[in-house]
Amino acid sequence: MKEKRAVILAGGKGTRLRPYTVVLPKPLMPVGDYSILEVIIRQLLSNGFNRITLAVNHQAEIIKAFFGDGSKWGISIDYSLELTPLGTMGPLKLIPDLPEDFLVLNGDILTDLDFARFFEQHVESGNLFTISSYLRVQNIDYGVLETDQDNRLVGFQEKPNNTYQVSMGIYMVNRKVLSHIADEQTYGFDNLMHDLMRSSLPIHVERFSGYWLDIGRPDDYMQAIEEFETWKEVFIRA
């Protein structure tokens, strides 16, 4: 069977979720009866993935003890350990046997994205790098003032909102991209995007309109806890 590989970035300190993450690593934060990382692993299994590499750093031993080799879930899990934090894309250079195309995602995402379809569309299109994106509404909890050069009020909006197309933290990557990632230094998603654009290399954006929360944000985490039971059968199919 052809390897269908995913790399889950699970090495962050979860500073936005403190004090919760002082005791538990962020990927083990509970959502319903599961940790968020277990939800992701179950989703990948049900989408035909057969091997997962967890890129770990902070509290790595706790994550390893919980997930082991993946046999509990019927999927192969191995680990790539960062001795120093390498950002979001830097850890990929530590993994020596990545296939031609592979999925990369953050370990703190709750979504009903069809990972199998996302994988297959990328491969069939021959893309170099594919970003799954989401239209996010950002609410401003204040009255926003607009003034002229004499500091006179010329415009006012009460608690407006702005809409942005944002990265979901889910990517399909062709192995050719690895040559652009710096060795043994912090190298983030932002660095890679700027470097690829400077080299005039194509980056495909696949828009998604389903369910997506970044539980690394306290507001999203609280929403995930409140909504998980309603959506449980959608998220947990394995």
Q: What pLDDT was estimated at residue 188?
A: 93
**Which of the residues in the chain have pLDDT under 50?**
14, 18-19, 21, 238
User: How many domains does the chain contain in total?
Assistant: 1
Is residue 197 assigned to a domain? yes
- The neighbouring-strand residues paired with 214 are 109
Give the count of beta carbons closer than 10 Å to the beta carbon of residue 184: 12
186 C-beta neighbours (distance < 10 Å), count: 14
Percent of the chain with pLDDT over 90: 58
Residues 55-110: pLDDT tens digits?
A: 998 788 889 999 999 999 999 999 999 888 888 899 999 998 999 999 999 999 99
The number of beta carbons lying within 10 Å of the beta carbon of residue 158 is 8
Residues 6+ apart with CB under 8 A from 46: 237, 238
* Residues 216, 185: Cα–Cα separation, whole Å: 23
Cα–Cα nearest to 172, from 217, 210, 126, 235: 126
Predicted local distance difference test score (pLDDT) of residue 115: 97
Max Cα distance, the chain (Å) = 70
pLDDT of residue 23: 58
Q: Which pLDDT score, from 0 to 100, does residue 102 have? A: 98
Q: pTM here?
A: 0.88
pLDDT computed for residue 42 by the predictor: 95
Residue 141 lies in a domain: no
Confirm whether 106 is domain-assigned. yes
pLDDT at 97: 92
CB-CB contact of 210 with 170 (8 Å): no
Return the pLDDT at 21: 47
What pLDDT score does 219 carry?
A: 83
Q: Which residues contact 2 (CB under 8 A, 6 or more apart)?
A: none
Alpha helices (H) along the chain: 36-46, 60-67, 115-125, 189-198, 218-235
Task: Please give the pLDDT value at position 13.
Answer: 60
Residue 151 falls inside a structural domain: no
- Structural domain includes residue 154: no
CA 153 to chain centre: 41
CATH number at residue 56: 3.90.550.10
Q: Which domain holds residue 206?
A: 5-134+164-235
Residue 159 resides in a domain: no
pLDDT at 195: 95
Q: Give the position of tokens 């509970």.
A: 30
* Residue 146, domain member (yes or no): no
Question: Does the residue 178 lie in any domain?
Answer: yes
SS3 content of the chain, % helix, strand, coil (to 5): 35, 30, 35
